[in-house]
Structures are given as C-alpha cells and as structure tokens.
Structure 1
Amino acid sequence: MKNVDYIIVGDGYAGVFFAHQLIKNNKSFVMFSEGEKSASQVSAGIINPVVLKKFTTFWKAQEQIDFLKDSLKEIEAYTGNNYLIDAPIHRIFHDENEQKLWLKKSENIELQDFLDENFDHIEVVKNDFNTGKVNQSARLNVKGFFMGVFDFLENRGQLIKEKFEYSKINTADSVYKEFNFKNIIFCEGMGVKENPFFSDITVNANKGHHIKVKLSKSLDQNITIKKKHFLFPLDNDLYFYGGTYDRDQLHHHIDDSAVEQLTNGLAEFYPYDFEIQEVNFGFRPTVKDRRPIIGKHSDHSSMYVFNGLGARGILNGCYFSKVLYDCIENDSQLPEEVDMKRFIN
C-alpha cells in the first residue's frame, strides 16, 4: 500500500494548478488522467481581466492576474519553461460609440489599470475604428504548459494514465486500489456528472468550438485580436480562431453551424483568403453565477470538489487552487461566493 496525502482526479486547469499547490508545499500525491484532451487542453489560453462585450471587469480580477503570474514563475522553476506569452488583447471597435464607451470605462477605478486610453491600428485586418488594448492581458502556451507539467509529474511517478473507478474507493478506510489517501480532490469538469459523490453539483456544459486556420496574408505582430472571437498565431504558420459558446448542441461531434459561425466571424475582419486546417471542441463546466464550485462532501470528509471554472479556467483554476488548499490544510473558511453550499436551499 502506498501512502499519499492527496489523490487528484482530473487533469485540466483545476487539477494541474492544485497539483502545483501540493508541489510547493511538499505534499505527496498522484493525479489520475484518462489521457483524453480536456476542455482545458483545447482552450485558447486567454488571460484577460476584462469582459470584452461590455468593457467591465470581474470579482478579484487584479488579484487573480497577479497570483497567476507568480504561480507561472514558480512552475517555470521546476519545468524549466516559461509558458506565459506576452501578447496583449486588442479589441476591434465596431463603431465610434464603442470607442467612447471604452474611454469612459477606462476612468473607472476598477478598469483604469486594464483599459488602455491610447487606441491602435492593426495592419492586415479590418479595424476602421481602431482597437483598444487590454493591459495586463496575455496568453498561456496551453500545449506547452500541459506537456511540461505532465512530463514533470510522469518523471516523478505521480501521473497515472487510467480512468478513475469510483467503485474502488473504500471510504471507511480512505483507500483507493493500492493507495492509502488523506484527501481526494475531484477536478473533473463535466466528467463530474458521472461521479456518484458529486453528480448533483450545479455545473452546466457550455460547448466551445475553435478552428485552426492558415492565413494567406500573415499578421505582423504577435498579438491577440478580438472581435466576436479571438485570433492569434500558433506554431507552423497556423492561427487559432475561437471559441464559440453553445449550451444546447451538446453532442460529442463537430457542429457545422459552429464552424460556419467561426468562418463568418473571421471573414468579417480578415479580408483575405484562409483555409481551415483543424476543428476542435470541448465542454466548459459553467455555473449560473459564473464562479467556481468548491467544497467538501457532506458525508465523506476526505472528499472535495473543485469545478465550474468556466471560460476563465486559467485564472479561476490558479487562484482558487490556493483557496481550496488553505481550506483543507489550514482550516481557512471558503468564501461563500465559491462555496458549493451556496446552492443548498
């Protein structure tokens, strides 16, 4: 029997950032990964403190940005790679009214550090009313990030590539197969619906598609362009464009309507030919109040859930991994805004 402090079930942003907390604090653990690409692993990797539809910000945005940057430096120390891409978001304005609204919002104390007052014009794409730059925005090298962390865990014998079997948990003795554990953290995204211990948590699937395209005329700058969706360069002369949001078409194959939506969206501001090379989709676990769901099982004190990261998976996963860790190890109170108990009548 192997003794571990933690078992992590799930290999998306929630699981990986919680694993980072355990690495920092010298806790023993294993992570169970099915090996299928999670929604996190096909995500855009956008790090953005601003809601770009309304030019607003969100709860703890600055704290989350600061904490993420510190955490990525810590992760770089043991993986040997920097996964933060300094490519700020440039939001294409639809008209003069949006420009005026942006400037007005930039005077707001919550937004003045995020909304740049100087507008930019970007070559190649159509931006007749210029673009607004989101300060402190960036991207994560998603592919590199997961490969780097998984390689690190695998080399330490902490990554177990198999499906977790709930029926093999002995809750009375805190045993799972050959592991004697102190705590299990379920970080499964929409996979939680198959989890008999937490299947009733109120997360809803939001299906997102993105396309990888080859542009006939390349963009000069390594920036992230946003109009309806995000456009930015990848390796091998490809560009990422996405992603869509769909709460209704939840089948496990590509939606032609989503691909059409993306094709039309890109053509709106990119006036040259492009070819779609690849289409991907994933299911984001979302919550009606747009905040994560974190908490301990009511009957099994060694079981916790960390879910509902939604479209801000990187920021939520990183920041609230520390919140969950402190709750378990230091008896800190969970903020009621993320505590799963908020949905219990």
Structure 2
Amino acid sequence: MKNVDYIIVGDGYAGLFFAHQLIKNNKSFVIFSEGKKSASQVSAGIINPVVLKKFTTFWKAQEQIDFLKISLKEIENYTGKNYLIEAPIHRIFHDENEQRLWLKKSENDELINFLDKNFDHLNVLKNDFQTGKVNQSARLNVNGFFSGLFDFLENRGDLIKEKFYYSELDTENSTYKDFTFKNILFCEGMAVKENPFFSDIPVIPNKGHHIKVKLSKQIPQNITIKKKHFLFPVNDELYFYGGTYDREQLHHNIDDSAVEQLKKGLEEFYPYDFEIDHVNFGFRPTVKDRRPIIGRHSKHQNLYVFNGLGARGILNGCYFSKNLYDFIEENIPLPKEISIERFK
C-alpha cells in the first residue's frame, strides 16, 4: 500500500489549484484524471474582475486577481512556464448610454481600479461607440496550463490516469485500491451527480459552446474583445469565440442553435468573412448564489468537496483552494458564503 496525505478526484481548476497548495506545503498526494476533457479544459481562460453585462464587480474580485497572479508565479517556479497572457479585455459599447454608464461606474470605489476611463477605437472591427478597457484583466493559457501541470505531476508520479471507482473506496479504513490516505477531495464538476457521498449538493449544469474560427482579415493580437461573447487568438490561424450559456439543452451533443447564436454574435462586430473550424462545449457546474460549494462530509470526516466554480473557474479555483487547505490542515473555518453548510 502507498500512503498519501491526499487523494484528489478530478482534474479541472479546482483539483489542480488545490494540488498547488499541497505542493507548496510538501504534502503527498495523487490526483485521479479520467482523461476526459473537463469544462475547465475547454474553457476560454478569461481572467476578468468585471461583470461586463452590468459593469459591476463581484465578491473578493481584487483579492482573487492578486492571489491568482501570485499563484501563477509560484507554479512557474516548478513548471518553468508562465501561463498568464497579458491581453486585457476591450468591451465594445453598444451605444452612448453604455459609454456614460461605464464612466459613471468607473468612479465607484469597487470599480475604479478596473474600468479604464480612456476609450479606444479598434481597427478592422465594427465599434462605432468605441471600447472600454478592463484593467487587470488577462487570460490563462489554458492548454499550456493543463498540459504543463499534467506533465509535471506525471513526472513526479502523482498523476493517476484512470477513472475513480466509488465502490472501491473504503471509508472506514481510509483506503482506495493500493492507497491509504488521510483525506480525499472530490473536485469533479458535474460528475459529482454520480458521487454517492456528495450527489445532493445543489450544482446546476450550464452548457457552454464555443467555436474556433479562421478570420479572413486579422484583428489586434494583444487584446481580448468582448461584445456578446469573447474573441481572441488561439494561434496564428485560429481564434476562439464564445461561450454561450444554456441551462435547458443539456444533452451531450452540439446545439445548432448555439452555433447560430455565436455566428450572429461574431457577425455583429466582425464585418468580414470567417470560417468555423470546429465547435466544442462543456458543462459548467453553477450554483444559484454564484459561490462555490466547499466543505466536509457530514458523516465521513476526511471526505471533502470542492465544486460549483461556475464561469469564474480560474479565480474561484485558485483563491478558494487556500481557504479549503486552511480549513483541513489548520481547522480555520470556511467563510460561510462558500461553505457547504449554508445549504443545511
């Protein structure tokens, strides 16, 4: 039997950012990765402190941005790679009313560090009312982040590339197959609904589509463009455009209506020909109050859950992994806003 401090089940942002906390603190662990691409792995990787529909911010936005930048520097120290892409979001305004609202909101204490007061006009694109830049926004190199961390964990012998079977978990003796563990953490996204220990947590699937497109006329490379959805370059040929939000069409197939929505959204501000190279989708685990669900099982005291990251998976996964680590290792209570106890 191999003895570890932690077993992590799930390989999205929650699992990998918690693994980072364990690496920092010299804890032994293994992470079970089934090999299916999670919602995290097909996400846009947007790092954004502003809700761009209403020009508002959210709980602990500045703290989350600051903590993420520190954490990515720490990850760079052991992977040797920087996964932060300094490409600020430029929000295309629909009309003069949005310009005025942006300027008004930019005076708020919560938003003064995020909403740039100087507007820009972008070449090639239709932006008659200019764009507003979101300061401190950026992107994560999603493919690089996951492949880099998976390679690092595999080289250490911490990555187990197989499905986790709940039936082989012995909770009384804290064993799973050939492992004994102190704690086990489930970070499974929507797969939690198959988990007999945490299937009752109130996560709601939100299906998101995105398209990869070839543009006939190139656009600025060092920014992320937002109108209805986000547009940014993936490589020299392809651009990412997405993603949609759908709580109704939850089958595991591409929705033609979502693809059409994306085509029309892109055509609104890109007046040239483009070709859809491929379509992808994932299921975000969301919660009604838009806060993660984190905590300990009511009966099995060394079983934990980290879920419900929603559309802000990078920021939520990074920041709240520290809260969870401190809760388990230092017995520091979780903030009530994220605790599983708020649903009991």
The TM-score with structure 1 as length reference comes to: 0.99
User: In the alignment, what sits opposite 2:178?
Assistant: 178
Cross-structure match for 1:69 = 69
Shift, 1:222, TM fit: 1.6
Aligned to 1:148: 148
CA contact (8 A) 2:221 2:232 kept: no
SS in 2 for 1:335: coil
Q: Distance in 2 between matches of 1:88 and 1:185?
A: 34
Q: Distance in 1 between matches of 2:328 and 2:283?
A: 28
**2:228–2:265 Cα contact (<8 Å) kept:** yes
Instruction: Tell me the residue number matched to 1:273.
Output: 273
Q: Unpaired segments of 5 or more residues in structure 2?
A: none
Number of aligned residues: 344
Q: What corresponds to 1:199 in structure 2? A: 199
Q: Matches of 2:52 and 2:255 in 1, distance apart?
A: 25
Q: Tell me which amino acid in the other structure corresponds to 1:104.
A: K
Sequence identity (%): 81
What is the aligned partner in structure 1 of residue 320 from structure 2?
Answer: 320
- Counterpart position of 1:217: 217
Equivalent residue number for residue 84 of structure 1: 84
Supply the AA of the counterpart residue of 2:219.
L
For 2:125, give the aligned amino acid.
Answer: V
Q: Secondary structure at the match of 1:180?
A: strand
Partner of 2:169: 169
RMSD: 0.4
| In 1, Cα distance between equivalents of 2:20 and 2:134 | 28
Aligned equivalents of 1:124, 1:181: Cα separation in 2? 56
Secondary structure (helix, strand or coil) at the match of 1:269 reads: coil
Aligned AA (1:75): I
Q: Which residue of 1 aligns with 2:135?
A: 135
1:19 counterpart residue number: 19
Aligned-partner Cα distance in 2 for 1:221–1:196: 46
* Superposed displacement of residue 236, structure 1: 3.6
**What secondary structure is seen at the aligned counterpart in 2 of 1:62?**
helix
Quote the Cα distance in structure 2 between the aligned partners of 1:253 and 1:81. Answer: 35
Report the TM-score, using the length of structure 2 for normalisation.
1.00
Q: Distance in 2 between matches of 1:28 and 1:115?
A: 42
Distance in 1 between the 2:86 and 2:164 partners? 37
Q: Deviation per CA, 1:63-91: give whole Å up to 9, x if none.
A: 00000000000000000100000000000
Any gaps of 5 or more consecutive residues in structure 1?
A: none
**Deviation string for 1:84-128 (max 9, x for gaps)?**
000000000000000000000000000000000000000011000
Mapped pair 1:335 → 2:335: yes
- Measured after TM superposition, the shift of residue 21 of structure 1 is 0.2
How many Å separate the matches in 2 of 1:242 and 1:223? 15
Kindly report structure 1 stretches of 4+ aligned residues shifted beyond 4 Å: none
Tell me the equivalent position of 1:55.
Answer: 55
Q: Aligned equivalents of 2:111 and 2:261: distance in 1?
A: 30
> Cα distance, 1:221 vs. partner?
3.2
* Cα offset, 1:220, TM superposition: 2.9
Structure 2 residue matching 1:11: 3-state secondary structure: coil
